[in-house]
Amino acid sequence: MSPGKIVLLILGVMMLLASFGLMAGGSTLLWVDARHVDNEGFFTSDTLHIVRDSSAVVIGPIELDEVAIRVLKTIGVITVFRFEGTNNDPPKQIFMGVADQEDLEDYLDNVPYDEITNFHLRWRLNFDRVRYVSHPGASVPSNPTSESIWTVSKDGTGPQTLEWQTEAGSNSVVLMNDDGSKGIDLDVIFKAKIPSIVGYGVGLLVVGIVLLLLGVLMVVLAVRRG
C-alpha cells in the first residue's frame, strides 16, 4: 500500500470514529427531548421531596455575567427556569423566590437554613443523592412575602409555579413556608427551558452521517486495488 493510501486510510478511520460519536450524541439529545422535555420545551426533573427542620432551603448561587447571558440566549441553551412546588403541610403555604445572593444572605442572617450543594445529574435531574449543608441560627426570619428583595416570587395554597428569566448577577432560589416558620415539607419539580435541543440533535446526526459517508468512501479508496 502506498504512503498516500495509508494516509487516506487513517483519515477515513478517524472520520468513521468521529461520525459514530456525533451520531450517538445526536441520537441521545433527540431521546432526551422525547423522554424528558415537556410540550412547552422544558427539561423536567424528578420530584424533589424536601423535609428539613429549618426555616429555608437555598439553591445556588447561579452566577452569570452579561456576556454569558447573551451567549446563552443566542445559542438557546438555558434561558428560563421554572419551579413547581407544593407544601405538604396543610395549614401552611409554600413560598418560592429568587433574590440576589447578598440580599438573601442579609435576609437569612442568623436564620437556620439548609443549602443544597449536590445532586445526581445524568440524563435528568435525579434527587436520590441530594446533599445539604446546614447553616445554624437562632433568629426567626421575617415573613418572606413582606420582603422586597425578590426578583420574582410566588406563594399560595396548593401547587404553585415560579418562572424566572435568567439574568446577570449572582442569584439564589429560596424555598420556605410563606410565614417563615421552621419545619419544611415540600415537593418541588425543577424545569429548564432548552429550546435548541432538537436542533442540536438533528445537527449532530446530519454531520455524523456526512462524516460516515466520507469515511467509508476514503477507506474504500484506500484499500481497493489499483
Closest Cα to residue 48, out of 121, 142, 104?
Answer: 121
Is 61's pLDDT higher than 90? no
User: Which sign does the torsion angle of CA 36, 39, 43, 46 carry?
Assistant: negative
Measure the CA–CA gap between 167 and 98, rounded to whole angstroms: 11
Instruction: Report pLDDT digits (tens) over 171-197.
Output: 999 999 999 999 999 999 988 877 667
Higher pLDDT, 96 or 194: 96
Instruction: Determine whether 30 is exposed, middle or buried from the number of CB atoms within 10 Å of its CB (0-12, 13-18, 19+).
Output: middle
Closest Cα to residue 130, out of 191, 51, 73, 40?
Answer: 51
pTM: 0.71
SS3 216: helix
pLDDT at 130 (0 to 100): 78
DSSP of 95-160: EEEEEEHHHHHHHTTT--EEEEEEEEESSSEEEEEEEEEEE---PPPPPGGG-S-EEEEEEESS-E
pLDDT at 142 (0 to 100): 92
**Degrees, nearest 5: CA angle 206-211-212:** 95
pLDDT band for position 126 (cuts 50, 70, 90):
low
Q: What does R_g of the chain's alpha carbons equal in angstroms?
A: 24
Instruction: Report pLDDT digits (tens) over 143-164.
Output: 999 999 999 999 998 899 999 9
pLDDT band for position 123 (cuts 50, 70, 90):
very low
Contact, 15 vs 218, CB < 8 A?
yes
CATH of domain 38-193: 2.60.120
Is 219's pLDDT higher than 70? yes
pLDDT at 38 (0 to 100): 76
Torsion of CA 148, 152, 156, 160, to 10 degrees: -170
Give the mean pLDDT of the chain: 85
What ranges do the domains of the chain cover?
1-36+197-226, 38-193
